[in-house]
């Protein structure tokens, strides 16, 4: 890559980051890569990664690993971020130290540079502590980003915040996901992917497939992903082993396929493009952001999802079907309609394909760049105006 133009502000990213396996780490790495690609340079795009313990050989762009709860590490994190023009902070309660991740407040309050904070969670029923933390984040940040209009409405109606300090920028997805279905199989493929743990609704999904045994050809259900690191640390692979046993007990050994590999970007892209349909049976009624949902739409895939807020918003135009939570009969019925009605599947695919290009990473990264440029330009202008006022 060539050197960046001198006018481009430097950015210090704050988040979990690869090799950590979680949605925020993947998001941050993709956003940074997209901004770098747009600039033609990775220069001045550095990362302060959030960790529970230092990792060996972090990527070269990681200039500091902040160990949660370590005061010395916090001072170094703040110093590293203050060497940039702007700090781009990813927020989720579980990634920062302290009760409900309260350590994020210490970090933002000590910054001398403007902070742009992306809110990955906006709870509809927060605890008093969670509400206070989110309100203080918005108060201290120069700008906050939410990834759905549902999240924005919830932020403005449920929390005491300045509505002028927040806006919607969707979660991004790779443009390479968009394209024709790859390697057609004789049996239709339904796909769920991402880190696996309680709350994903996979028990309900497996039970739903037991109600589709009369279909010919019988669909295949691929569950792609490994156990969430925090779930594995607490209980090993007991959870996924329970799912395997449930599928076996229902006689679905030839229908439900578990693939626990951690795939690279190209392999995951191929797996998604091989699917006929995406299934998101999540149990959460709070989720206002789903990277998997965005990737499914970016790939032009029809989606069957439970009525979590982000799905209700994104699928309202006809790109998929919404069903009640924890209802295998409704889930099976929605999949049956898609699998037996080619016209319905084509219509949903067409709607998904019309949405997809608006979610591609270059578009999303460009919107972040606009915000960051406006903030840094305004800070550069303000001292000059103050000097003119003194002269006058």
Q: What does the pLDDT look like over 357-371, one tens digit per residue? A: 999 999 999 999 999
CB 124 within 8 A of CB 146: no
- Looking at residues 140-157, what average pLDDT do you find? 97
CA distance 371 to 68: 28
* pLDDT reported for residue 261: 81
- Looking at residues 37-54, what average pLDDT do you find? 96
Q: What does the pLDDT look like over 201-237, one tens digit per residue? A: 999 999 999 999 999 999 999 999 888 777 787 888 8
CATH entry 3.40.30.10 includes domain 175-358: no
- Judge if 11-172+360-388 and 175-358 fold alike in CATH terms: yes
Please determine, for residue 266, whether its predicted confidence score (pLDDT) is greater than 90. Answer: no
Nearest C-alpha neighbor of 101 from the set 228, 14, 191, 34? 14
CB 158 within 8 A of CB 127: no
| pTM metric for this prediction | 0.89
- Looking at residues 234-249, what average pLDDT do you find? 91
* pLDDT reported for residue 388: 36
* pLDDT reported for residue 380: 55
Mean model confidence pLDDT for the chain: 92
Give the 3-state secondary structure of residue 246.
helix
* pLDDT reported for residue 183: 67
Please determine, for residue 262, whether its predicted confidence score (pLDDT) is greater than 80. Answer: no
Q: In Å, what is the CA distance from 291 to each residue of 167, 195, 231, 283, 363?
A: 18, 12, 20, 16, 15
Task: Report CA 258 to chain centroid distance, whole Å.
Answer: 22
What residue ranges do the domains of the chain occupy?
11-172+360-388, 175-358
CA angle (180 as vertex; 173, 272 as ends), nearest 5: 50
Cis peptide before 19 (omega within 30 of 0): yes
Q: Which residue has the higher pLDDT, 388 or 290?
A: 290
* pLDDT reported for residue 6: 53
CATH entry 3.40.50.2000 includes domain 11-172+360-388: yes
* pLDDT reported for residue 145: 98
Percent of the chain with pLDDT over 70: 94
- Looking at residues 328-348, what average pLDDT do you find? 97
Grade residue 61 by pLDDT with cuts at 50, 70 and 90. Answer: very high
Q: Which residue has the higher pLDDT, 389 or 102?
A: 102
- Looking at residues 247-262, what average pLDDT do you find? 93
């Amino acid at each position: 890559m060539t050197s960046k133009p001198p006018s481009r502000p430097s950015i210090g990213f704050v988040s979990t980051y690869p090799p950590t396996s979680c949605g925020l780490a993947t998001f941050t790495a993709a956003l940074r890569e997209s901004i770098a690609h747009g600039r033609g340079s990775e220069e001045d795009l550095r990362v302060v990664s959030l960790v529970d313990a230092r990792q060996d050989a972090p990527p070269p762009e990681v200039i500091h690993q902040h160990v949660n709860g370590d005061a010395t590490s916090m001072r170094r994190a703040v110093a590293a971020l203050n060497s940039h023009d702007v700090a781009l902070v990813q927020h989720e309660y579980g990634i920062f130290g302290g009760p409900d991740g309260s350590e994020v407040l210490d970090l933002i309050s000590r910054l001398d540079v403007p902070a742009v904070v992306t809110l990955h969670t906006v709870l509809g029923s927060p605890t008093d502590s969670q509400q206070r933390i989110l309100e203080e984040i918005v108060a201290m940040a120069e700008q906050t980003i939410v990834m759905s209009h549902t999240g924005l409405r919830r932020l403005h109606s449920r929390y005491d915040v300045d509505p002028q300090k927040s806006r919607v920028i969707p979660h991004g997805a790779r443009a390479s996901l968009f394209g024709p279905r790859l390697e057609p199989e004789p049996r239709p493929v339904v796909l769920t992917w991402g880190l696996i743990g309680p709350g994903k609704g996979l028990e309900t999904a497996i039970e739903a497939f037991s109600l589709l045994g009369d279909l010919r050809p019988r669909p295949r259900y691929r569950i792609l992903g490994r156990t969430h690191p925090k779930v594995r640390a607490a209980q090993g692979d007991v959870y996924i082993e329970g799912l395997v046993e449930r599928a076996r007990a229902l006689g679905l050994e030839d229908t439900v396929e578990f693939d626990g590999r951690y795939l690279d970007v190209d392999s995951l892209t191929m797996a998604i493009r091989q699917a006929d349909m995406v299934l998101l049976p999540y149990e959460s009624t709070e989720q206002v952001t789903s990277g998997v949902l965005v990737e499914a739409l970016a790939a032009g895939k029809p989606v069957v999802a439970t009525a979590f807020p982000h799905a209700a918003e994104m699928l309202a135009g006809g790109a998929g079907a919404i069903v009640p939570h924890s209802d295998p009969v409704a889930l099976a019925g929605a999949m049956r309609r898609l699998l037996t009605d080619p016209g319905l599947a084509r219509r949903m695919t067409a709607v998904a394909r019309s949405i997809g290009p608006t979610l591609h990473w270059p578009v999303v990264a460009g919107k972040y760049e606009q915000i960051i440029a406006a903030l840094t330009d305004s800070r550069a202008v303000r001292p000059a105006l103050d000097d003119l006022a003194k002269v006058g």
